[in-house]
Structure 1
């Protein structure tokens, strides 16, 4: 009996790599198949369209993002330490890209949000859900604070902005600096909202 084909998994991995490297629009089906070592006919056996593969890639990225958040925001540190660690993990990922490829690649979910939100409503809605889940995870770390949802939105905005700037400058160090800033903002917010003794 032959082994179960891993062609679908290879197509998803190939799609992830090409979408992250050059964006959705530049990643053609033939290129995805060639990179995966899969015939084009097999692609359409697993996926009805490139968009269907794109959504499978989004699901995989969502899973990876959830694991990263769980690790970075684990409750073994005070809130500001956990938020700083989230930025550190993001910096480590970009440092790895820089070492392996010579370039900071940016956040794949952030890149797809910038590229696809005005192009495909299904992608936009999925990406919005992922971003809102991320905000919810951050909010659980920093609550109870006044306006904790807005604060969580601000922290995610600072993180994604830092990754974008790191990509523009090809330097992940900015992500760590913004992590330190996010921690300081949290500490200042906590002290300013604490009741007097």
Structure 2
């Protein structure tokens, strides 16, 4: 593998392992073994697991940004954007019979405030997602779809909290059918969408997101 491929392989492997397990239980040795690289190669790119995780948050965002830009594109109506977001959440955080959730949100809950560098990276990732939520809320409001509008920035944060709260609760009660039933209605209620507009459109975005879970590895990409 080239230097760039090795770095990407480490980022992808770390995210995969953290997604499958959790941040605290995944160690450098396990990451290196799974990625097929030496510890020397690991420390050539990253000074610590925390440093790797921080870079992984940026890498993950680059992977999904193309999908999010398509989901929230102004060529879609605000209601289509909302339905696109719901579809994206289902595709990226659920499988047919299990809950994947968000590895970063889960890691933040595990770490607490012990590692300021990691917490800052998670804050930045969260704020970027909230910015997309805010743009959606503004579009819905401008289009006359909302019944009530108070503090849109707070609404964007509440939307973020709600989505991850549903996913966290789903670990306690892992019923995919309940999540798929409750999350859409909860978002419509939280956003204050007027009842006459509820579920009146379908998503225009149908492709599976290029998430770390289904993205080809560096080795696979180099052979295509």
- TM value normalised by structure 2: 0.72
Question: Paired residue for 2:163?
Answer: 159
The Cα offsets for residues 9-59 of structure 1, whole Å up to 9 and x where unpaired, read as: 211111111111111111111110110011122111221222221112121
Residues 62 and 113 of structure 1: is their aligned pair in 2 closer, same or farther, counting only changes over 3 Å?
farther
Matched, 1:179 2:184: yes
- Work out the CA distance in 1 between the residues paired with 2:162 and 2:196: 18
Deviates more, 1:8-17 or 1:137-146: 137-146
Residues 12 and 154 of structure 1: is their aligned pair in 2 closer, same or farther, counting only changes over 3 Å?
same
- Work out the CA distance in 2 between the residues paired with 1:135 and 1:81: 18
The Cα offsets for residues 51-87 of structure 1, whole Å up to 9 and x where unpaired, read as: 2211121211222343343233223443344223212
Higher relative contact order structure (alpha carbons within 8 Å, sequence separation ≥ 6): 2
Give the unaligned 5+ runs of structure 1: 192-197
2:15 partner SS:
helix
- Work out the CA distance in 1 between the residues paired with 2:62 and 2:176: 23
Question: Paired residue for 2:2?
Answer: 4
Q: How many residues align?
A: 185
Residues 170 and 27 of structure 1: is their aligned pair in 2 closer, same or farther, counting only changes over 3 Å?
same
Question: Paired residue for 2:116?
Answer: 121
Question: Paired residue for 2:152?
Answer: 148
2:192 partner SS:
helix
Residues 64 and 116 of structure 1: is their aligned pair in 2 closer, same or farther, counting only changes over 3 Å?
farther
Question: Paired residue for 2:39?
Answer: 40
Residues 67 and 166 of structure 1: is their aligned pair in 2 closer, same or farther, counting only changes over 3 Å?
farther
1:84–1:183: 8 Å Cα contact kept in structure 2? no
**1:190 to partner: Cα distance:** 11
Matched, 1:188 2:187: no
Which residue of 132, 135, 140 corresponds with 1:137?
A: 132
- Work out the CA distance in 1 between the residues paired with 2:120 and 2:7: 24
- Work out the CA distance in 2 between the residues paired with 1:136 and 1:186: 18
1:11–1:43: 8 Å Cα contact kept in structure 2? yes
Deviates more, 1:159-168 or 1:10-19: 159-168
- Work out the CA distance in 2 between the residues paired with 1:139 and 1:124: 22
The structure in which a higher percent of residues are helix is: 1
- Work out the CA distance in 2 between the residues paired with 1:148 and 1:161: 19
1:52 partner SS:
helix
